[in-house]
């Protein structure tokens, strides 16, 4: 989920694009879920509605421009690994059944 960071007395966040520091209570910035860098909605050219949608739903994820391609690549790689693993496990199961059959033949 995209995190809505509420700055305040005890913490401040710096937008990594405009370098503006957000200290005032209620200031809002987005935090990249991968690198944890912060961006203000103004620099991202987000409307208030888009910002609220990104931060209010747990099924929406936000990644900065640097991290998004890496995340997409990681998801694609994970899918490829799942396919290869499934194929590998099918071959192992097949070989195991053949081996079990050979053992039963020798026992009989």
Given this model, what pLDDT does residue 67 score? Answer: 97
Query: Sorting pLDDT into bands at 50, 70 and 90, what band is 1?
Result: very low
- Cα(5)–Cα(39) distance, integer angstroms: 10
pLDDT surpassing 60 at residue 3: no
Give 54-99 as a DSSP string: HHH-TT-----TTTHHHHHHHHHHHHHHHHHHHHHHHHHHHHHHHH
Give the tens place of pLDDT for each residue, 27-71. 788 999 999 999 999 999 999 999 988 888 888 899 999 999 999
């Amino acid at each position: 989920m995209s995190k809505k960071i509420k700055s305040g007395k005890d913490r401040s966040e710096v937008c990594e694009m405009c370098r503006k520091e957000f200290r005032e209570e209620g200031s809002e910035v987005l935090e990249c879920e991968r690198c944890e860098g912060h961006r203000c909605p103004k620099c991202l050219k987000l409307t208030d509605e888009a910002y609220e949608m990104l931060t209010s739903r747990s099924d929406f994820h936000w990644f900065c421009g640097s991290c998004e391609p890496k995340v997409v690549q990681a998801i694609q790689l994970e899918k490829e690994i799942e396919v290869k693993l499934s194929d590998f496990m099918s071959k192992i199961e097949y070989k195991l059944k053949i081996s079990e059959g050979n053992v039963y033949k020798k026992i009989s």
